[in-house]
Every structure is written in C-alpha cells, then in structure tokens.
C-alpha cells in the first residue's frame, strides 16, 4: 500500500512538472522575441528608422578603439608657380571631417543618430562624443618653379563600436525589437591616445596641359590669377 501511494504521488507531481514546462514553452512562443538584422531588415533600414524616430533607438555598450591618424586630404587651393623662381605665399586651408558608419556612409551632422551615440558615450565614459570637426588656419607655402603645391591635412580619428537596439510600438518585420551591431568612425580630440593632427605642404611637377594653362595665365598682366580652386603665380616675382 505504501509503495502504491508513493508511485501515485510521484506521477502526480511529475505530471504537474510537465504541465508547467509546457505552459512556459507556450508563453515563450506567444511572446515576440528580439531579432537580429540578419533575419529581416537591413542595417540601413534600421538606422533610417532610428534617424527618423519611427524606431525608439539606443546605442548599447559603446566601446572605443585606439585613436589613429586618418588619411591625408587636400584642404586648400592649388598654387601653380608659373615663374622662374621659388615662390612663397600664405595659403588658407579649411577642413571639415564628419563621422561615418560601418560601410562608410556619412552620418547626418547634428542628426538623431549622432545625438543617440553622444548620450550613450557620455553615460558610459563621462565625456562627450563629436560627430564632426571643422578647423581653419593658414600656412606659408613655398612652391618651386614649374610645380604645383597644396596643403593636406590628417585628422585624429577613433572608432566606437556598439549595438543598436530598436523598439517599435507595433511589430515591424514581425518583431517589436531589432538589434544590429555597428562601428562608427569619427574625429577625435587632438592628442587622443598620443595621436596628433597633421598639416603638410605637398607639391608635384606640372603636367604638360597644366603648363599650357600656366602659359595662358602668364599672358595677363596680373601676377596671380585664380580659377576654381587654382591660383597661378605669373610674371616677375
């Protein structure tokens, strides 16, 4: 009799456990689960919803990479020395560097995406993040005769990686939540991780066609002539 009661008790509790597990599985099946962008929309679609505000987005767990010096880019007019002696002239340059996402698409300056990243970085690191940097200055540039010179600049850059979390009030692509990893590359403060911004003067020999243009410019009486980003130094200097 005792053994029969024990067996019945075990079966009774065992059946209850099975029922609880089945109920839990049914609840999980009925609950919309978060999904990754690989299962549905593209990363661009999700970020577009973040930018427009259709999706309520956060940039979770931001992690900074080590700062590095970006590529050199021309930031001034080109100076053509059409004279027979070296020429020195003060050249103004201006450079504006914006942030880009994983595939190199520039972020909207001051846009929603930039603000979300800044909020996340500030909360995590207690310092702000900038989506763009603009700088202007002047440099004395010396160009040899028959050459063209210009100013190039490289900005200190830094990557910040994180995960976008998007929440929709109503399911979109069959889910309320979507997650997508992203890495943003943007300008960093000069001196970050010991890296410094760089400004250099570059020059090269004129091409044959440029020399012809130089000859045409020299036909005038002015000692310098400008044409859409190009300055021609002519006459005796």
pLDDT of 155 strictly over 50: yes
Q: Please, what is the Cα angle at 209 between 207 and 212, to 5 degrees?
A: 115
pTM assigned to the model: 0.77
Compute the average pLDDT of residues 135-157. 96
Task: Return the minimum-mean-pLDDT range out of 78-82, 157-161, 202-206, 215-219.
Answer: 215-219
pLDDT of 235 strictly over 80: no
pLDDT of 14 strictly over 70: no
pLDDT of 79 strictly over 90: yes
Q: Which two tokens stand for residue 71?
A: 């590529």
Dist. CA 96–CA 101, nearest whole Å: 17
Dist. CA 99–CA 101, nearest whole Å: 7
| pLDDT at residue number 4 | 44
Nearest to 149 by CA among 232, 237, 219, 236: 232
| pLDDT at residue number 234 | 84
Instruction: Give the confidence band of 226 by pLDDT, cuts at 50, 70, 90.
Output: low
- Residues with Cβ within 8 Å of 44's Cβ and at least 6 positions away in sequence, in order, are 105
Torsion-angle region of 35 (φ positive above 0: left; ψ -120 to 50: alpha; else: beta): beta
Nearest to 232 by CA among 220, 214, 216: 214
Dist. CA 111–CA 184, nearest whole Å: 14
| pLDDT at residue number 18 | 35
| pLDDT at residue number 39 | 60
| pLDDT at residue number 229 | 83
Compute the average pLDDT of residues 217-236. 66
Compute the average pLDDT of residues 168-192. 95
Nearest to 191 by CA among 69, 65, 97: 69
CB atoms within 10 A of CB 10: 10
- For 23-64, the pLDDT digits (tens) are 343 433 334 445 555 568 888 999 999 999 999 999 999 999
């Amino acid at each position: 009799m005792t053994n029969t009661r024990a067996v019945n008790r075990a079966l009774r509790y065992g059946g209850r456990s099975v029922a609880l597990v089945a109920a839990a599985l049914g609840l999980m099946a009925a609950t919309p689960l978060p999904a990754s962008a690989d299962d549905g929309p593209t990363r661009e679609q999700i970020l577009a919803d973040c930018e427009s505000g259709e999706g309520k987005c956060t940039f979770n767990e931001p992690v900074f990479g080590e700062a590095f010096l970006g590529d050199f880019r021309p930031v001034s007019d080109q100076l053509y020395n059409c004279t027979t002696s070296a020429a020195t002239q003060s050249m103004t340059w201006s450079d504006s560097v914006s942030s880009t996402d994983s595939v190199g698409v520039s972020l909207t300056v001051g846009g929603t995406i930039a603000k979300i990243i800044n909020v996340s970085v500030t909360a995590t690191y207690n310092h702000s993040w900038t989506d763009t940097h603009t700088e202007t200055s002047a440099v004395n540039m010396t160009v040899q005769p028959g050459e063209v010179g210009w100013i190039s600049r490289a900005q200190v850059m830094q990557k910040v990686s994180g995960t976008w979390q998007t929440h929709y009030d109503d399911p979109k692509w069959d889910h309320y939540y979507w997650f997508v990893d992203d890495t943003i590359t943007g300008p960093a403060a000069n001196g970050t991780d010991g890296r410094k911004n760089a400004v250099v003067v570059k020059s090269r020999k004129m091409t044959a066609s440029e020399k012809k243009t130089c000859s045409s410019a020299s036909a005038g009486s002015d000692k310098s002539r400008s044409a859409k980003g190009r300055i021609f130094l002519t006459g005796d200097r």
